[in-house]
Amino acid sequence: MCLLLLLGGCSSRQGVEAFIAPNVPLSLPAPTLAEPLTRQQLLLASTQGKQYQLLTALEAGPQGITLVGLMPTGARLFKVRYDRSGIHSERLLPLPGSALPPPAQVLADVMLCYWPVADWLPRLPAGWQLKDEGDVRRLTDPAGELVTEIRYHTWQGHREPVSLTQHRFGYALTLESLTP
């Protein structure tokens, strides 16, 4: 999710579009949730044969979503905010040698984990499917091929993501909640 944002150090404002597969754009759902969501997570990202660790803080609610990424040492790598006026990002420290997606892509992963399927369905391209089946959420293309798979476990009555595999872009995330 979050680790995949680590690019050079700058600030930018973007539209609300991401890609769910190469050359397949997707408009993100509204950046608001009826019930506030706060999570602190340790992420292990695997991409291009490399692994990275990242601490993230996520806050989402009626005003929008904010995602902050920190190195395990506590140094801030990025901050991304998505509200009614769009996506705003600050990238402070890069990870050397990483060819990772832009902020909207990271937000798409976060939102794909936490936002209700009903919020996504009207935004999916024709023929694409997003389904919850037990503790797994799957995004498939019109041919029925698996594009993204999110695995969950139930913790204190809430379904929490524990892994996300993005088959088309070739990365996997393991998520460990640090929020009590």
Phi-psi region of 142 (alpha: psi -120 to 50; beta: other; left: phi over 0): alpha
pLDDT value of residue 48: 85
- Report the share of the chain in percent with pLDDT over 90: 53
pLDDT value of residue 158: 84
pLDDT value of residue 166: 95
Mean pLDDT computed over 91-107: 64
Task: Please state, in angstroms and rounded to a whole number, the distance separating the CA atoms of residues 30 and 80.
Answer: 15
Computed over every residue of the chain, the mean pLDDT equals: 85
pLDDT value of residue 10: 40
pLDDT value of residue 112: 96
**In this structure, what token pair is assigned to residue 55?**
């601490």
Query: What is the pTM for the complete model shown?
Result: 0.85
5: pLDDT strictly greater than 90 = no
Q: Cα–chain-centroid distance for residue 84?
A: 18
Q: Give the residue with greater pLDDT, 76 vs 121.
A: 121
Task: Identify the residue whose tokens are 């990772």.
Answer: 100
Task: Please state, in angstroms and rounded to a whole number, the distance separating the CA atoms of residues 31 and 111.
Answer: 9
- Report the share of the chain in percent with pLDDT over 70: 84
How many C-beta atoms surround the C-beta of residue 125 within 10 A? 12
Report residue 109: phi and psi, to 5°. Answer: -65, -45
Q: Is residue 2 a contact partner of residue 69, using CB atoms and an 8 Å limit? A: yes
